[in-house]
Structure 1
Amino acid sequence: MSLTSQIKEFALDLGYSKVGIIPADGFPEYRADLSNRHEMYSFYIKGPARPLVAAEPRSLMPTARSIITTVYDYSQKSFPKELTEKIGRVYQARCYNAPPERINGVRPQLMREYLRKLGCEVGENISLPERLVAAKAGLVTYGRNNFAYADGIGSFIYLTSFVVDKELEYDSSTVEVSCPDGCSACMKACPTQAIYEPLKLDPRRCIAFNTFMTQDRIAGSRIEPEIREKMGTKIHGCDICQEVCPRNQARLTAKLPDDEFLLKVAQDFSLSQMLTMTDEFYATRIQPMMYNYIKEKKYFQRNAAIALGNLGDLANVSDLATAMKDPEELVRGYAAWALGKIGGRSAKQILEENLSRETSESVKTEIREALLKMI
C-alpha cells in the first residue's frame, strides 16, 4: 500500500468523513483577498495566527511538500432546539479547536502521531485557509454564504489540515460555487446583512463575530446597539445563513440520533443562569461547549444580557437588576441596555437607582441611553 493510501485510510478510520491531499504551495489568491479587505479583517491579520504568513506554508516550514486535509462531519447527531436558538452547532458538537483532553482534540493528535510514525515531519501552528485547502483537494465546494459544503453532509463540517514534508499523490480541485442558480437565501436571511455580496462577508456585522470576537484584546468589547437588536438570543455563534440554505435541508430534516450530553445540558441551561453564573455553571455548562474564543466570564454574561433584553420578558428584570451590581462594568452596562429594551416601571426604577451610585462613565452612558428609550 502506498504512503498516500495508508494516510487516507488511517484518517477515515479515525472518523474523518473525507480526506484529500494537495501540494504545499502558497495561496496568493487568499493573501490578496485578505489584503484587499484589510480594514474588515485587521483583527485577524494582526493576530497571532499571522494568516498572511501562514498562507505561504514554506515560510514557516521550509521542508513542507504536501498538505493533508480532512473533513469531519459534526452533524451526525441531532441538536436540541433549546440550544440551537442560542449556540452554533459546531460549538455544541465540541469539535472546534477542541482541547487535547476531549475526544475531538484527540483525533488530530492521533493523526499527527501516525504521520510521524510513517516518517513524516509535521508542521505545527500553521493557520491555513482551511476552506480553500479543502476545495483545492476536491473535498468541498463553496456556498455563497462563504461556507464550505461537502457532498452528502452539507456545511456542518469541520476542516483540519496537516502540513508534511513528503511528496504524496495529489487530488483534483473543486474550487467552485455549487449553489442553486439565482439562490440568495443566505444573504436575505442574515439579520445584519453581513453577507454583502456572494462570498463576501463583513465580519464586523456578523452575529457570530460579535458574540465571541468582541473582546478587549481582539476587536474591542463594544457591540453596536444596531447589532445587539438583531442578535436575538444568539450567545455563541450563529447558524442562520446555514439553516436557510437549500443544500443543508437534507441533513437538517433528517431523523438523527440524540446527543445525550446535549440533552442533559439543555435541561440545565438558561440565559438567566448564564447572566449571573456561578463557577459551577461556568465549568459544567459553558466551558464544555464554548471554550473556543472566550476565556473570561464577563463576555458570556454580556451576551446573556443582550439575549435577555431581546426576549423582552418582564420575568427577567430581577436577574438583570442583580447584574447591575456585578463587579464588571461590561456586565452592568449591557444589563442596563437590556433593562431599557424590556422597559416597564420596574426596569426604569432600577436604572434610575443605579445611575445615582454608578461610578463608571461607560455604564452611566448605557443607563442614560436606556432611560431615554422609556420616555
Structure 2
Amino acid sequence: MSLTSQIKEFALDIGYSKVGIIPADSFPEYIDELTNRNEMYAFYINSPNRPLVSAEPRSVMPSAKSIITMVYDYSQKSFPKKFTDVMGRVYQARAYNAPPEHTNGARKQLMREFLSKIGCKVGENIILPERLVAAKAGIVNYGRNNFVYADGIGSFIFLTSFIVDQELEYDQPTVEVGCPDGCSACMKACPTGAIYEPHKINPTRCITFNTNFTQDGMAGSYIQPEMREKMGTKVYGCDICQEVCPRNQARVKGKLPDDEYLLNAEKEFSLAKMLNMTDDFYQRRIYPLMYNYIKDRKYLQRNAAIALGNLGDPEFIPDLTVAMKNQEGLVRGYAAWALGRIGSQQAYQVLQECLTQETSVFVRKELEEALVAIQSISGID
C-alpha cells in the first residue's frame, strides 16, 4: 500500500469523512483577496495567526512538500433548539479546535502521531486557508455564503490540514460553486447584510464576528447599537446562512440521533444564568461549548445581556438589575442597554438609580442613552 493510501485509510478509520492531498504550494489568490480587502480583514491579517505568511507554506516550513486535508462531519447528531437559537453548531459539537483530551482533539492528535510514525515531518503552528486547501484537494466545493460543502454532508463540517515533508499523490481540485442557479437564500436571510454579494462577506457585520471577535486586543469590545439589535439571541456564533441553505436541508430537517451531552447541558442552560454565571456554571456548562475564541467571561456576559435585551421580556429585569452590580463595566454597560430595550417603568427606575451611582464614563453613556430610548418610546419622564 502506498504512503498516500495509508494516510487516507487511517484518516477515514479514525472518523474523518473525506481526505484530499495537494502540493504545499503558495495561495496567491488568498493573499490577493485578503490584501485587497485589508480594511475589512485587518483584525485577522494583523493577528498572531499571520495568515499572509502561512499562505506561503514553504516560507514557514522550507521542507514542505504536501498538504493533507480532511473533512470531519460534525452534524451526525441533532442539536437542541435551545442551543441553536444562541450558538453555532460547530461549538455545540465540540469540534472546533478541541483540546487533545476530548474526542475531536484526540482525533487530530492521532492523525499527527500517525504521520510522524510513517516517517513524515509535520509542520507546526501553520494556519492555512482551510477552505481553499480543501477545495483544491477536491473534497469540498463553495457556497455563495462563503462556506464550503462536502458532498453528501453539507456545510456543517470542520476542516483540518497537515503540512508534511513527503511528496504524495495529489488530488484534482473542485474550486467551484455547487449552489443551485440563482439561489440567494443565504444573502436574504442574513440579518445584518454581511453577505453583501455572492462569495463576499464583510466580517465586521457578521454576527459571529460580533459575538466572538469583539474583544479588547482584537477588534475592540464595542458593538454598535445597530448591530446589537440585529444579533437577536446569538451569543456565540451564528448558523443562519447555513440553516436556510437548500443544500443543508437534509441535515437541518432530518431525524438525527440525540446528543446526550447536549441534552443534559440544555436542561441547565439559560441566558439569564449565563449573564450572571457562577464559577461552577461557567466551568460545567459554558466553557465546554464556548472556549474557542473567548477566554474572558465578561464578553460572554455582554453577549447574554444583548440577547436578553433583544428578547424584550420584563421577566429578565431582575437578572439585568443584578448584572448592573457586576464589577466589569463592560457587563454593566450592556445590561443598561438591555434594560433600555425592555423599556418598562420598572426598567426606567433601575436605570435612574444606577445612574446616580455609576462612575464609569462608558457605563454612564449607556445608561443615559437607555433612559432616552425609554422616554422616546413610552413618554416616561
Structure 2 Cα separation of the partners of residues 340 and 202 of structure 1: 28
Partner residue, 2:8: 8
Per-residue CA shift, 1:214-257, capped at 9, x if unaligned? 00011000011001001110000000000000000111111110
Partner residue, 2:22: 22
Superposition pairs for residues 26-45 of structure 1, below 5 Å? 26-45=26-45
Structure 2 Cα separation of the partners of residues 59 and 102 of structure 1: 32
Give the partner amino acid of 1:341.
Answer: R
Q: Cα offset for 1:186? A: 0.2
Structure 1 Cα separation of the partners of residues 363 and 290 of structure 2: 27
Give the partner amino acid of 2:314.
Answer: L
Give the partner amino acid of 2:266.
Answer: A
Partner residue, 2:291: 291
* 156-165 or 94-103, larger mean C-alpha shift: 94-103
Structure 2 Cα separation of the partners of residues 274 and 250 of structure 1: 32
SS at match of 2:70: strand
Q: Cα offset for 1:64? A: 0.1
Partner residue, 1:117: 117
Partner residue, 2:322: 322
Partner residue, 2:246: 246
Partner residue, 1:271: 271
Partner residue, 2:150: 150
Structure 1 Cα separation of the partners of residues 268 and 6 of structure 2: 44
Give the partner amino acid of 1:146.
Answer: N
Superposition pairs for residues 1-375 of structure 1, below 5 Å? 1-375=1-375
Q: Cα offset for 1:142? A: 0.2
Give the partner amino acid of 2:225.
Answer: P
Structure 2 Cα separation of the partners of residues 101 and 351 of structure 1: 45
Structure 2 Cα separation of the partners of residues 35 and 241 of structure 1: 25
Structure 1 Cα separation of the partners of residues 20 and 297 of structure 2: 39
Per-residue CA shift, 1:160-198, capped at 9, x if unaligned? 000000000000000001100000000000000000111
Structure 1: unaligned runs, 5 residues or longer? none
TM-score (normalizing by structure 1): 1.00
Sequence identity percentage: 72
Give the partner amino acid of 2:352.
Answer: E
Q: Cα offset for 1:137? A: 0.3
Structure 1 Cα separation of the partners of residues 100 and 314 of structure 2: 42
SS at match of 2:121: coil
Per-residue CA shift, 1:2-24, capped at 9, x if unaligned? 00000000000110000000000
Structure 2: unaligned runs, 5 residues or longer? 376-381
* 167-176 or 95-104, larger mean C-alpha shift: 95-104
TM-score (normalizing by structure 2): 0.98
Q: Cα offset for 1:282? A: 0.4
Aligned residues: 375
Q: Cα offset for 1:99? A: 1.0
Aligned-pair Cα RMSD in Å: 0.4
Structure 2 Cα separation of the partners of residues 115 and 374 of structure 1: 61
Q: Cα offset for 1:75? A: 0.2
Q: Cα offset for 1:364? A: 0.3
Q: Cα offset for 1:274? A: 0.3
Give the partner amino acid of 1:158.
Answer: F
Per-residue CA shift, 1:86-143, capped at 9, x if unaligned? 0100000001011111111111111010000000000011000000000000000000
Give the partner amino acid of 2:91.
Answer: Y
SS at match of 2:332: helix
